């Protein structure tokens, strides 16, 4: 298994737009409540809007706020306007992006004595750079992975496929987090139980972000995965 230079987590998902940042921010706040010094990284973000003459990485900014930190330029150094996979968005901006750029951003000096939380972009096999996918960045960093998935019909297949891909790369899957979906669930659906019966890891449900219990659930998730993640 690749060795990480620092303790931390890699947040990935089954797809784009399924709540990685919502869950990631909640986990960051839970880690801070544990007394950890948390450094966040969203090394590349596409779909950024123009703001005061520059591109504003909304997800990176939310992670920064959750960690109570500063330095958005270090958190999300690579920003692109087109709401596409980062490799294509970078190409359209005439700024080709390479895996080494993203690895370097995640290994910035202020991560050396901290717990680092890195959020990818899109799903585990979504392209990030000319020469790499989210999976390649995760493998290079060697951090335990939290897989975020929408709690809806069809997600079992997606989760099991990605879990197999993670095992194939000799990485550690720390937990699956089933994020709340607005659409009502069919009678009898229990993705949590069905996935937990097939994977030997914590499978936790995360409520709607506005739910007052969401922070408590985040604390519980961190407690469940703590034995499987590196400590300071």
Please pick, among 36, 42, 78, 152, the residue that the annotation labels catalytic.
42
d(C-alpha 33, C-alpha 109), whole Å:
23
Catalytic residue check, 42: yes
For residues 180 and 208, the answer to whether their CB atoms sit within 8 Å is: yes
In angstroms, the CA 94 to CA 190 distance is: 46
Q: How far, CA to CA in Å, does 40 sit from each of 1, 58, 177, 178, 190? A: 23, 14, 19, 22, 32
User: Residue 114 has what DSSP assignment?
Assistant: S
List, in order, residues 6 or more apart from 108 with CB less than 8 Å away. 39, 41, 74
Pairing of strands 44-45, 145-150: unpaired
Please give the DSSP secondary-structure letter assigned to residue 36. -
Whole-angstrom distance, CA of residue 191 vs CA of residue 184: 13
Question: Which residues are annotated as catalytic?
Answer: 42
């Amino acid at each position: 298994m690749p060795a990480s230079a620092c303790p931390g987590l890699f947040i990935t998902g089954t797809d784009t737009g399924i709540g990685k940042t919502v869950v990631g921010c909640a986990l960051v706040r839970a880690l801070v409540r544990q007394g950890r010094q948390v450094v966040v990284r969203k090394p590349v973000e596409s779909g950024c809007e123009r703001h005061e003459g520059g591109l504003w990485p909304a997800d990176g900014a939310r992670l920064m706020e959750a960690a109570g930190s500063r330095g958005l330029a270090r958190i999300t150094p690579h920003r692109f306007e087109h709401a596409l996979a980062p490799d294509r968005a970078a190409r359209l901006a005439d700024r080709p992006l390479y895996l080494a750029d993203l690895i370097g951003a995640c290994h910035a000096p202020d991560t050396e004595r901290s717990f680092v939380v890195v959020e990818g972009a899109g799903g585990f096999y979504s392209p990030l750079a000319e020469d790499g996918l989210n999976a390649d960045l995760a493998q290079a960093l060697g951090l335990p992975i939290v897989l975020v998935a929408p709690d809806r019909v069809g997600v079992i297949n997606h989760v099991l496929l990605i879990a197999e891909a993670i095992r194939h790369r000799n990485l550690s899957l720390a937990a699956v987090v089933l994020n709340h979906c607005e659409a009502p669930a069919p009678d009898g659906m229990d993705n949590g139980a069905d996935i937990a019966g097939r994977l030997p890891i914590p499978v936790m449900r995360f409520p709607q972000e506005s739910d007052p219990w969401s922070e408590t659930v985040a604390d519980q998730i961190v407690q469940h995965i703590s034995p499987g993640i590196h400590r300071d």
